[in-house]
């Protein structure tokens, strides 16, 4: 898990260092990138949810590492919503490109909530994890409801 966290941190630094327009040679590459980021988010966020909801035994170390991955990876997919990435195999709704300011606001809210979730997970308290998980999950759901095709 530590290697995964280290890789996610390196990936986030690399993503920040390269301008979005130069990062993807083709729109398809951007779509693949954001799908990969959302897959990572879903897997690690899902583990946190399973612990918070009692569907998986609580493990403070695993929760803290998963929350760290979520916090880092939550910064990655947004740069991959550029021009031309609304086509092909994507679940992204056209509203993303029509309501870019609102979409950006939602992404920033989600990033803020998962940062709080990571801080809560580091306390080692299941109660703190549960308290922070709900708002983080709601911020994800709000975007899914508005901007993701079923």
Q: Is residue 16 very low, low, confident or very high in pLDDT (cuts 50, 70, 90)?
A: very low
Question: From residue 142, how far is each of 10, 19, 98, 146 by CA, in Å?
Answer: 29, 28, 17, 6
CA pair distance 11, 6, nearest whole angstrom: 9
Q: Which structural domains are found in the chain, ordered by start?
A: 2-147 (1.20.120.10)
Is pLDDT at 9 greater than 70 in this prediction?
no
Q: Could you tell me which of 123, 143, 141, 144 has the C-alpha nearest to residue 132?
A: 123
CA pair distance 54, 115, nearest whole angstrom: 22
CA pair distance 95, 146, nearest whole angstrom: 8
Is the separation of the CB atoms in 92 and 150 below 8 Å? no
Radius of gyration of the chain (CA): 16
pLDDT in tens, 60-89: 999 999 999 999 999 999 999 999 999 989
Q: Residue 11 CB: number of other CB atoms within 10 A? A: 18
pLDDT in tens, 17-48: 444 445 899 999 999 999 999 999 999 999 99
Model pTM?
0.83
CA pair distance 22, 68, nearest whole angstrom: 27
Share of the chain above pLDDT 90, in %: 83
CA pair distance 120, 128, nearest whole angstrom: 5
pLDDT for residue 2: 57
């Amino acid at each position: 898990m530590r290697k995964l966290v280290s890789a996610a941190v390196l990936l986030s630094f690399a993503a920040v260092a390269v301008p979005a327009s130069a990062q993807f040679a083709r729109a398809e590459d951007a779509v693949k990138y954001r799908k990969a980021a959302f897959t990572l988010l879903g897997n690690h966020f899902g583990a946190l949810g399973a612990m918070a909801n009692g569907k998986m035994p609580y493990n403070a170390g695993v929760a803290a590492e998963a929350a760290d991955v979520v916090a880092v990876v939550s910064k990655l997919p947004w740069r991959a919503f550029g021009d031309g990435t609304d086509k092909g195999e994507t679940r992204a709704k056209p509203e993303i490109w029509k309501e870019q300011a609102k979409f950006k606001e939602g992404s920033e809210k989600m990033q803020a909530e998962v940062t709080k979730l990571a801080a809560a997970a580091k306390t080692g308290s299941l109660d703190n994890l549960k308290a922070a998980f709900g708002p983080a999950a709601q911020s994800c759901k709000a975007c899914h409801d508005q901007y993701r095709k079923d």
